[in-house]
Chains A and B, each alone.
Chain A
Amino acid sequence: MLQISDLSVTFGGLHALRNLDFQVTEGEIVSVIGPNGAGKTTFFNMISGMVTPTSGDIVFEGESLLGLDPSQVTERGIARTFQNVRLFANMTILENVMVAQHCRTDQKVFGALFQTNAFKSEENAIREYGEEVLSFFGTRLTGYRLEQPASVLSYANRRRLEIARAMATRPRLLLLDEPVAGMNPRESAELTALIGRLRSEWGFTIVIIEHDMSVVRDVSDRVVVLDHGESIAHGSYEQVANDPNVIEAYLGRQVQDEQAEEETSP
């Protein structure tokens, strides 16, 4: 579904991503992990068109995404959430999911001014689909909440609304950037279950960036580890968790090595 080949991004002299190859097949849940600064969010920014790669190619369902605006990428069927939740804080919860359907709708000024039937039915459809998406998270985002501004939501609910907003764009590939960050264990366990349902009920293919290893273990079919912009390991959770490269990336080199180095260096 998504093929990324030999992808590099440089910001000045910094290699944010280096010669990255990455594939996602339809129906998969893939986790991308790695220490801070490994280039995970840059990786998402690039897929969603917010950052242009220096070299390499991104192909989604047979078509290259290079040179497309973020809105066009979304239109092709890729939606994302943001690590530092970025909702339209002063729009209501319903409006947040309504506006996300922008690229799936096409009523223009004329329809709005003359209240054509097409306009009205589209508005209703947008509203209904918005409510449907919101009700995926139970009653938390529905009912009296619909007309409340997004800014009154709790942190966990803002994360949920962000996922709902991404779902509202009717994507096929969903990119979730640290969906459980800041949630308590109970909330994150619940969201982990929901991520599974996103695939089974809504048919989304999902790529997750996550730091919480229990979530990664529970949801992912495959794990890709990034460090310093390079993919250092991939495979199932167990394979990756025991990979010495990965342990080194996270924990640093073994103490003995360092001592050995110290002994030789002076």
Chain B
Amino acid sequence: MTATSNGTPTLEAPGLDWRRQIRFSLIGALSSAFIALAGMPVGLDRRNIIQPLLSMGYLSLLWVPFVLASLAGSQVVLEGMTERVRSSKDLVAGALVGLGSALGLVALMILVKNFNIRDPLVNWSPQLLDLLSFNRSAGLGMVFWIVLGTTLGLMGGAMHVVPTAVRSKTLTVLLSVLAVSVLETFITDLLKGFQLEIFTDFIYYKRGGLEIVGALLVAALAIVIPLLVGDRITVVRTRVREMPADERSRVNLILLLVGSALLLVLPFFLGKITNELLANVGLFVLLALGLNIVVGLAGILDLGYVAFFAVGGYTTAVLTSPNSPGFSPQLPWPVALIVVVVLTGLVGLFIGAPVIRMRGDYLAIVTLGFGEIIRLLFLSDWLSGWFGGAQGITNIPGVDVGFATVNGIDPRSVFLLVLVFSAIAIYISWRLEHSRIGRAWMAIREDEDVAEAMGVNTTNTKLMAFVVGAVLASFSGAIFSAKVGSIFPTSFLMLISIIILVVVIVGGMGNIVGVIVGALVLIGILGGPKQPGLLQEFSEFKLLIYGALLVWMMLKRPEGLVPNVRRSRELHQEEFLQDAWLKGEIDTDDEENPS
């Protein structure tokens, strides 16, 4: 008894909803004005995307009409519904949304020109007006914006009208040009390592951004390469998928080995800046993997995770630095690491024991408190005889590995060290997830009472998650100490806990790959709390973007960039069940399979 899935669609999708379009144009107007007043256009104008044409500043406004128009035109097609036939009306609707966004800017320009409220709004400046009017007269600028906004809106709307192939090609081209431009530092650095500067000199402008020719080249490549590769990738993939299990795992193993080998070789082709950047990303990967065990697997919302990072960092500093004020055994780093791991594990137990019996909001608040307490203890005068108070601990030697010393002066070595520890952390996460303890963690996340009733000692199991998370954070702390060479209480702000949590959520909770992708995207591109990312100009707006991204992810894609199948099921339970029922995957009764 399967539900109708192959039968004729029963419902017709509703037509164009003009109220939705108007709502989106208002959203567009408000977002454009907000972005302008937040200072993004002026602040980001220094960074070029395509040399004379487009800067990051303008891009921060131009995406609004395009993306919103395309969002406004999108329609959820439920199973059993026919998709609405798109018509020129959709173009008009897109143009309307674009126009709305542009009018928001126009209104802002009029206000900025005639009134002065620079006092509360720092960015309410002639500079903004100049930028918005393209350094010409304000009137001309307004006309320009209306034309631009409407055109972009029209294009956004057109995304639903044109054939899918055209749409995906357009998006590929846009995204690849953007990506190549954003990744400029990385690509230049990498190609320099291979002595291929000619290429980067050709596509990039001397002071940043793509040349027009470069942009065209990238666009052309984005179209040509998929054509050349064709569906060869999918063919290979299906072939691998159809292999017998042992052969498939052998292929996977080979891929894994090749991938790791490439990763290990990569640092030698990269320059200082990129290595430094990737080392920072690696530190956050370690932290995020640890938090992923606590939040993603066991479902314990820990907002004070930075505490373990701090304990790891400080313990390493005390044990290795000759400048440690109280106790200075000057142990070599590897020996110190053992003590660090044990000690952080104990701190995990100590903090976890009182906290673990709480649930939900209370747990989050208490962990937040403990995170701050730990930092304040390191800052306090009371313990300054041990940890140096606000002066921190300086002169932390690097890691002596015999033939080289790993410290901040040589980011390449730090990156290699981080890679090794990330591999260890990934292995730990992976093995634990698929073990008795991992299953118990998941059961607790699903339903704590039932897990307890099914014989899982929830207190011990949750404590175990806390301790394992703490140990992974202590790896990161120990490497951080050795890398930076000096640590202060301000290195361990609460913000770090929040950012790690955002990395885990945006990447995909409970998913190792997701967490790594999240760290690469957020820390690598936007930058960490104090570490610059590829888009250094973003530093002022980093938190704004983190926040916006978090809200957007929570609304639209709560399972993260790389979803864990299980988590995504959990979050889209209703839709999933409905779909499964419609497709006949759920048996509504047992007529089919009597035992």
Contacts and interface: CB of A to CB of B under 8 A. Distances in A.
Contacts of B573: 89-90, 151
B595 interface: yes
A156 B573 CA distance: 19
Given A103-B456, A113-B431, A151 B577 contact: yes
Nearest to B567: A90
A104 B436 CA distance: 11
Contact of B437 (A70, A86, A101, A112): A112
Nearest to A148: B585
A65 to B, nearest CB: 13
B243 interface: no
B570 interface: yes
B432 A109 contact: yes
B590 A112 contact: no
B453 A99 contact: no
Given A99-B439, A112-B435, A89 B446 contact: yes
A195 interface: no
Contacts of B453: 48-50, 70-71, 74, 80
A157 B464 contact: no
B138 interface: no
A112 B442 contact: no
Contact of A88 (B431, B436, B442, B580): B442
Contacts of B458: 71
Given A115-B431, A169-B454, A154 B443 contact: no
Given A102-B455, A169-B455, A90 B446 contact: yes
B457 interface: yes
Contacts of A140: 590, 593, 595
A119 B435 CA distance: 9
Contacts of A89: 446, 570, 573
A154 B589 CA distance: 7
Contact of B440 (A87, A99, A154, A169): A99
B437 A109 contact: yes
A74 B455 contact: yes
A82 B434 CA distance: 27
Given A82-B450, A95-B442, A154-B588, A109 B464 contact: yes
Interface in B441-493: 442-443, 446-447, 449-458, 464, 468
B576 interface: yes
Given A95-B439, A140-B595, A90 B566 contact: yes
Contacts of B443: 88, 91, 99, 102
Given A71-B458, A113-B432, A99 B451 contact: yes
Contact of B587 (A48, A100, A109, A157): A157
B586 interface: yes
**A74, A104, A107, A184 — most chain B CB neighbours (10 Å):** A74
Interface in B546-593: 566-567, 569-570, 573, 576-577, 580, 585-590, 593
A197 to B, nearest CB: 12
Nearest to B589: A154
Given A184-B589, A187-B590, A71 B457 contact: yes
Interface string B32-59: 0000000000000000000000000000
Contacts of B442: 88, 90-91, 95, 99
A97 to B, nearest CB: 10
Contacts of A264: none
A165 interface: yes
Given A71-B455, A86-B447, A95-B439, A152 B589 contact: no
Given A113-B428, A152-B580, A71 B440 contact: no
Interface in A78-96: 79-80, 82, 86-91, 95
Contact of A99 (B456, B457, B577, B585): B456
Contact of B569 (A71, A90, A102, A109): A90
**B438, B446, B464 — most chain A CB neighbours (10 Å):** B446
Contact of B456 (A71, A82, A126): A71
Nearest to B440: A102
B429 to A, nearest CB: 11
Nearest to A95: B439
B290 to A, nearest CB: 14
A138 B439 CA distance: 25
Interface string B234-263: 000000000000000000000000000000
B456 A107 contact: no
B467 to A, nearest CB: 9
Interface in A86-142: 86-91, 95, 98-105, 107-109, 111-113, 115, 119, 122-123, 126, 137-140
Interface in A189-207: none
A35 to B, nearest CB: 25
Nearest to B439: A99
Interface in B402-452: 427-428, 431-432, 434-440, 442-443, 446-447, 449-452
A49 B435 CA distance: 27
A152 B585 contact: yes
A75 interface: yes
Contacts of B447: 86, 88
Contacts of B454: 71, 74, 79, 99-100, 102, 165-166, 169
B590 A156 contact: yes
A112 B430 CA distance: 10
A87 B586 CA distance: 16
Nearest to A75: B455
A153 interface: yes
Contacts of A152: 577, 580, 585-586
A69 interface: yes
Contacts of A86: 447, 449-450
Interface in A209-251: none
A27 interface: no
A149 interface: yes
**A91, A101, A107, A119 — most chain B CB neighbours (10 Å):** A91
Contacts of B585: 152
A154 B587 contact: yes
B431 A139 contact: no
A90 B570 contact: yes
Nearest to A126: B436
Contacts of B595: 137-140
A185 B567 CA distance: 36
A79 B580 CA distance: 31
**A90, A105, A137, A151 — most chain B CB neighbours (10 Å):** A90
Give the 5 A-B residue pairs with the shortest CB-CB distance, closest first.
A138-B595, A103-B455, A112-B435, A74-B455, A88-B446
Interface of B: 427-428, 431-432, 434-440, 442-443, 446-447, 449-458, 464, 468, 566-567, 569-570, 573, 576-577, 580, 585-590, 593, 595
30 contacts: A69-B452, A70-B449, A71-B453, A74-B454, A75-B455, A82-B450, A88-B446, A88-B450, A90-B446, A90-B566, A91-B442, A91-B566, A98-B439, A99-B442, A99-B451, A99-B454, A102-B436, A108-B437, A109-B464, A109-B468, A112-B432, A112-B437, A113-B432, A140-B593, A153-B586, A153-B587, A154-B588, A156-B590, A157-B587, A184-B589
